[in-house]
């Protein structure tokens, strides 16, 4: 491509009070070359060149038809495939899926470059600038003795950056398109960080009881909208119970769904071996087969409370 890189860099927000971050000139002087013995990222340049070739006039017809909107499902799918690869522990799969996700980043960057907005170098430059700014304990003169101090300073810097973008609410930075359980967890965390939270797990559990009672009332009324709202409130309250116990609701539900899938698969296979479908078994037989499936698949379940990387 002969198009020149657009000048899109916005001025960095002023650092939060009590922090010192490198100026733009100081940032440019930082030695951020890859360390000896580490990989350098050289192959990423070849990926960029490959993507530009695919999008060239004589490139791939399918790639040339894509838009930012049509690529969104692939971005989401590839992200979840990375999560699955990490969860399943397959190193080769993890490497492959990270490559697929990286392709989506390069692809979108090239589409933006073609419209004169930004390119992949701007993306990399932007995240480098942000990370240098948010690590004044490494690149500046701010002291941070432990991870807790780092997180506290990080929160101050993020708040300053959000304010510069016109985002002043504690919940403004949570993506609305995030998975519902993850979004609810982050909402509770961020509200708690500014002082709006349950005193302890017991208080959160009391709120869950209250919401379940209101759900029962809504079900009794037959009002579909009320049932919808109260079910959501009960789920949100349950997320807060987990959060106050230090549990990750997204990961917990993922594990529970995995357990259900294993058990149901065992039940299904047991019936199929006898030439029967699930619907052929009555409630009592299904309950018996379910108990057998729980016992047979118990060894495949991860230890209780294991965080498998969700959220």
Domain boundary among 95, 122, 144: 144
Whether 205 shows a pLDDT value over 80: the answer reads yes
Q: Are residues 239 and 257 in the same domain?
A: no
Domain boundary among 244, 272, 291: 244
Q: Are residues 257 and 232 in the same domain?
A: no
Average pLDDT of the chain is 87
For residue 4, being part of any structural domain is answered with: no
For residue 200, being part of any structural domain is answered with: yes
Whether 19 shows a pLDDT value over 70: the answer reads no
- Whole-prediction pTM: 0.62
Tell me the CA distances in angstroms from 263 to 4, 230, 240, 254, 268, one per residue in order.
Answer: 57, 30, 28, 14, 9
Whether 183 shows a pLDDT value over 90: the answer reads yes
For residue 305, being part of any structural domain is answered with: no
Q: Are residues 48 and 130 in the same domain?
A: yes
Question: How far is residue 49's CA from residue 59's CA, in Å, rounded to a whole number?
Answer: 12
SS3 66: coil
* pLDDT given for residue 167 in this prediction: 75
For residue 233, being part of any structural domain is answered with: yes
Domain containing 214 equals 180-244
How many residues would you count in the chain? 311
Q: Based on the structure, what is the number of domains in the chain?
A: 3
The answer to whether residues 18 and 160 touch, using CB atoms and an 8 Å cutoff, is no
Q: Are residues 126 and 207 in the same domain?
A: no
* pLDDT given for residue 21 in this prediction: 52
Q: Are residues 257 and 237 in the same domain?
A: no
How large is the average pLDDT for residues 188-194? 90
How large is the average pLDDT for residues 82-105? 94
* pLDDT given for residue 140 in this prediction: 83
For residue 149, being part of any structural domain is answered with: no
The answer to whether residues 206 and 182 touch, using CB atoms and an 8 Å cutoff, is no
Q: Are residues 201 and 138 in the same domain?
A: no
SS3 140: coil
Q: What is the pLDDT of residues 246-268, one digit of tens each?
A: 999 988 998 999 999 999 999 99
Which segment of 37-51, 122-136, 137-151, 290-304 scores lowest on mean pLDDT? Answer: 290-304
* pLDDT given for residue 46 in this prediction: 96
Q: Are residues 220 and 287 in the same domain?
A: no
Domain boundary among 209, 225, 244: 244
Whether 309 shows a pLDDT value over 60: the answer reads no
* pLDDT given for residue 307 in this prediction: 38
Burial degree of 167 (CB within 10 A; 0-12, 13-18, 19+): middle
Instruction: Number of helices (H) and strands (E) in the chain: give both, helices first.
Output: 13, 0
For residue 53, being part of any structural domain is answered with: yes
Q: Are residues 69 and 122 in the same domain?
A: yes
DSSP string, 273-286: HTT--GGGS-HHHH
Question: How far is residue 113's CA from residue 124's CA, in Å, rounded to a whole number?
Answer: 14
* pLDDT given for residue 17 in this prediction: 41
Q: Are residues 49 and 139 in the same domain?
A: yes
How large is the average pLDDT for residues 212-222? 98
Q: What CATH number is associated with residue 53? A: 1.10.287.1080
* pLDDT given for residue 104 in this prediction: 97
For residue 118, being part of any structural domain is answered with: yes
Q: Are residues 98 and 114 in the same domain?
A: yes
Vertex 178 angle, CA 67 and 189, to 5° = 150
How large is the average pLDDT for residues 83-95? 92
* pLDDT given for residue 1 in this prediction: 36
Whether 201 shows a pLDDT value over 80: the answer reads yes
The answer to whether residues 255 and 308 touch, using CB atoms and an 8 Å cutoff, is yes
Question: How far is residue 55's CA from residue 49's CA, in Å, rounded to a whole number?
Answer: 10
Query: What share of the chain in percent tops pLDDT 70?
Result: 87
Q: Are residues 238 and 266 in the same domain?
A: no
* pLDDT given for residue 302 in this prediction: 52
For residue 306, being part of any structural domain is answered with: no
Question: How far is residue 80's CA from residue 58's CA, in Å, rounded to a whole number?
Answer: 32
How large is the average pLDDT for residues 104-132? 96
Q: What is the pLDDT of residues 159-170, one digit of tens each?
A: 787 778 777 788
How large is the average pLDDT for residues 274-279? 96
Q: Are residues 211 and 262 in the same domain?
A: no
* pLDDT given for residue 71 in this prediction: 96
């Amino acid at each position: 491509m002969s198009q020149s890189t657009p000048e899109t860099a916005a001025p960095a927000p002023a650092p939060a009070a009590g922090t010192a971050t490198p100026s733009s000139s100081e940032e440019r002087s930082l030695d951020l070359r890859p360390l000896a013995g580490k990989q350098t990222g050289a192959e990423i340049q070849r990926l960029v060149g490959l993507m530009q070739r695919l999008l060239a006039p004589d490139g791939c017809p399918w790639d040339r038809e894509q838009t930012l909107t049509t690529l969104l499902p692939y971005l989401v799918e590839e992200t979840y495939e990375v999560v699955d690869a990490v969860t399943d522990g397959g190193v080769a799969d993890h490497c492959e899926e990270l490559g697929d996700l990286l392709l989506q980043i390069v692809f979108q960057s090239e589409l933006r470059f073609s419209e004169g907005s930004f390119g992949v170098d701007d993306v990399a430059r932007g995240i480098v600038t942000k990370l240098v700014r948010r690590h004044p304990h490494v690149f500046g003169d701010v002291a941070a003795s432990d991870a807790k101090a780092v997180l506290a300073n990080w929160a101050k810097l993020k708040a300053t950056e959000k304010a510069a973008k016109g985002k002043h609410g504690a919940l403004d930075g949570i993506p609305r398109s995030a998975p519902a359980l993850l979004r609810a967890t982050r909402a509770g965390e961020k509200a708690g960080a500014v002082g709006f939270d349950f005193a302890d797990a017991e208080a959160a559990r009391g709120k869950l009881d209250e919401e379940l009672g209101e759900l029962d009332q809504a079900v009794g009324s037959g009002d579909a909208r009320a049932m919808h709202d109260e079910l959501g409130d009960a789920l949100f309250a349950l997320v807060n119970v987990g959060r106050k116990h230090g549990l990750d609701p997204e990961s917990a539900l993922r594990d529970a769904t995995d357990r259900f899938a294993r058990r149901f698969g065992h039940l299904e296979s047991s019936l199929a071996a006898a030439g029967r479908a699930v619907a052929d078994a009555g409630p009592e037989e299904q309950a018996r087969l379910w108990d057998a499936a729980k016992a047979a698949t118990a060894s495949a379940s991860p230890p209780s409370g294991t965080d498998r990387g969700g959220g």
